[in-house]
Amino acid sequence: MIATRALGDLRISAIGLGAMTLTQRPDADVEQGVRVVEAAVDAGITFFDTADAYGPGSEMGVNERALIAALRRRPEVLDRVVIATKGGHTRGPDATWWIDGSPEHLARAARASAHRLGLDVLPLYQHHRPDPKVPYEESMGALRRLVDEGVVRRLGVSNVDVAQLETAVRVLGDALVSVQNEYSLRQRGSDPVLRRSAELGLAFFAWGPLGGRQAAKDLAGTAAAVDAVARRYGSSPQRVALAWLLGRSPNMVPIPGSSRPESVRDSATAPALLLDDADRRVLDALADQAGTEAP
């Protein structure tokens, strides 16, 4: 049984699955994606993160449709998993990313996501990224109306700083249950947001928890300290990195992506890996060093 963390009034698995990798490549193997999702379900993962703008290509909703199609292969789990999606990004004709935090766009995007996912109410809807062209308070007001109108049950914000988080708290009230920012051994810029979200009782979803797709593959080779710790536990470096993240805060929920069922099963065991104080200090030092280096 995998450990759980709080998401508002819910309990979810302490490790989630970032679904972006299911469709990230134009030549993505559909059946392989299904096997990844099924492996996650079998491993006890109950939180799945997607977004309307996850491609490839310029078509919106590609990843949402792929995720729900995979989950529907196991209909018995649909009532015990949480599907979270995001809005506020769009894709242009050349597949470039654009930001649209306007209330009009968010209202349309949330309803379109609910339709694609086949859900009467979205369990968790997250604002993907602040739009510099739109006052953040206006974007948050649009999200609050989605809850009031019954389109969305819970709300989250993503890629925010502390000031933006405080605005979200003020506008969204108790509908706000989560924050999603980049966080890993290589990227600690969201430490202040992590601390504040813990104080507020909000779940903190760490995207890119292994430092990015290529970095995840090369984690041992590029960080000898991680490799050394992994060897002591007979573990993979990726599992060690996730265990370190989980120990950073009781509201931390890493959401690694995966293109292989084996990787999902490995990630799901991270909550059971308890690092001792000495090894945590080694990894803390590595993370501190990464935090002082230019990106």
Active-site annotation, residues: 54
Structure tokens at 285: 């030092």
CA distance 151 to 167: 22
Q: Other CB atoms closer than 10 Å to residue 85's CB: what's the count?
A: 32
Instruction: Tell how many helices (H) and how many strands (E) occur in the chain.
Output: 12, 12
Structure tokens at 8: 């508002």
Q: Which of 287, 153, 157 is closest to 226 using CA atoms?
A: 287
DSSP state of 58: S
User: In degrees, to the nearest 5, what angle opens at C-alpha 179 toward C-alphas 236 and 158?
Assistant: 95
Structure tokens at 59: 């078509």
How distant, in Å, are the alpha carbons of 19, 21, 22, 55 from that of 91?
17, 17, 18, 8
Q: Other CB atoms closer than 10 Å to residue 191's CB: what's the count?
A: 14
